[in-house]
Amino acid sequence: MCGIIGVIGDDPLAALLDGLSRLEYRGYDSVGVAVLAGGELWRIRAAGGGALVDLRSRVGKGELFEPSSSLTPGRSRGLPPGELVAAAGIGHTRWATHGAPTEQNAHPHSGCTGRIALAHNGIIENHRELAARLQASGHTFTSDTDTEVLVHLLEENEDGDGLAASMRRALRTVQGTFAIVAVSISDPDVIVAARRVSPLIVGIGVDRASGYVASDLPALLGRADCFYSLEDDQVAEVGAGSFVVTGLSGEPATPHELKSKWTLEDSEKAGYETFMEKEMAEQPDAISDTLRSRLRPDGFALLDDGLASAGERASALATAAYLDTIERITILACGSSLYAAMAARPAFETWANVPTDVEIASEYRYRSLAADARTLAIAMSQSGETTDTLQAARAVLGRGLPLLAVTNVVGSSLSREAQAVCYTRAGPEIGVAATKTLTTQIAILQLLAAELGQRRRVLDRGDVARISGSLARLPALVGKALAHHDEVREVAARIGQARDFFYLGRGVGYPVALEGALKLKEIAYVHAEGYPAGEMKHGPIACFEPGTVVVAVATRGPLWEKMMGNIAEARARRVTMVVVCEEGDRETAEVADEVLTVPSAPDPLTSPVIDVIAMQLLAYEIARGKGLDVDRPRNLAKTVTVE
Ligand code: M6R
Q: Would the CATH topology of 3-71+80-267 be identical to that of 483-625? A: no
**Quick one: which atom of ligand 1 is closest to the CA of 638?**
14
Smallest CA separation from ligand 1 atom 8, residue? 335
Contact, 137 vs 155, CB < 8 A?
no
Domain ranges of the chain: 3-71+80-267, 275-472, 483-625
* Cα 309 to Cα 306: distance, rounded to the nearest angstrom: 6
pLDDT of residue 74 exceeding 50, the answer is: no
Contact, 154 vs 166, CB < 8 A?
yes
* Cα 640 to Cα 19: distance, rounded to the nearest angstrom: 20
CATH, range 483-625: 3.40.50.10490
The C-alpha R_g of the chain, in whole angstroms, comes to 26
Q: What is the DSSP letter of 630?
A: T
pLDDT of residue 585 exceeding 80, the answer is: yes
Q: Which residue out of 386, 414, 436 has the highest number of ligand 1 atoms within 8 Å of its CB and is therefore the one to mutate? A: 386
Angle between helices 461-472 and 436-455 (to 10 degrees): 170
Rounded distance from Cα 638 to ligand 1 centre (Å): 7
pLDDT value, residue 28: 73
Q: Which residues line ligand 1 (CB under 6 A)?
A: 334-337, 381-383, 386, 389, 432-434, 518, 522, 639-640
pLDDT of residue 71 exceeding 50, the answer is: no
Provide the terminal-to-terminal Cα distance of the chain, rounded to the nearest Å.
Answer: 11
Q: What are phi and psi of 96, to 5 degrees?
A: -65, 130
Smallest CA separation from ligand 1 atom 12, residue? 335
Contact, 1 vs 640, CB < 8 A?
yes
| Per-residue pLDDT tens digits for 148-202 | 999 999 999 999 999 999 999 999 999 998 999 999 999 999 999 999 988 899 9
* Cα 183 to Cα 119: distance, rounded to the nearest angstrom: 9
pLDDT of residue 75 exceeding 50, the answer is: no
**Catalytic residue annotation:** 2, 638
Return the CATH architecture of domain 3-71+80-267: 4-Layer Sandwich (3.60)
Contact, 269 vs 275, CB < 8 A?
yes
pLDDT value, residue 69: 47
Q: Which CATH number fits domain 275-472: 2.60.40.1120, 1.10.260.40, 3.30.1490.20, 3.40.50.10490?
A: 3.40.50.10490
Percent of the residues in the chain that have a pLDDT greater than 90, as a whole number: 68
Cis peptide before 108 (omega within 30 of 0): yes
Angle between helices 127-136 and 148-156 (to 10 degrees): 50
**Quick one: which atom of ligand 1 is closest to the CA of 336?**
10
Run of H or E including 228: strand 224-229
Q: Which residue out of 276, 336, 612 has the highest number of ligand 1 atoms within 8 Å of its CB and is therefore the one to mutate? A: 336
Query: pLDDT class for 73, splitting at 50, 70, 90?
Result: very low
pLDDT value, residue 309: 59
Rounded distance from Cα 334 to ligand 1 centre (Å): 6
> What residues contact 107, with CB distance under 8 A and at least 6 apart?
2, 32, 45, 92, 94, 118, 119, 120, 145, 147
Three-class secondary structure assignment of 376-434: EEEEEECCCCCHHHHHHHHHHHHCCCCEEEEECCCCCHHHHHCCEEEECCCCCCCCCCC
pLDDT of residue 313 exceeding 70, the answer is: no
Percent of the residues in the chain that have a pLDDT greater than 70, as a whole number: 93
> What residues contact 537, with CB distance under 8 A and at least 6 apart?
566, 569
CA angle 87, 88, 93 (to 5 degrees): 145
Rounded distance from Cα 235 to ligand 1 centre (Å): 29
Report how far Cα 242 is from the mean position of its chain's Cα atoms. Answer: 29
Rounded distance from Cα 463 to ligand 1 centre (Å): 33
Rounded distance from Cα 468 to ligand 1 centre (Å): 28
Q: Which of 51-65, 254-268, 581-595 has the lowest mean pLDDT?
A: 51-65
Q: Which residue out of 95, 276, 360, 382 has the highest number of ligand 1 atoms within 8 Å of its CB and is therefore the one to mutate? A: 382
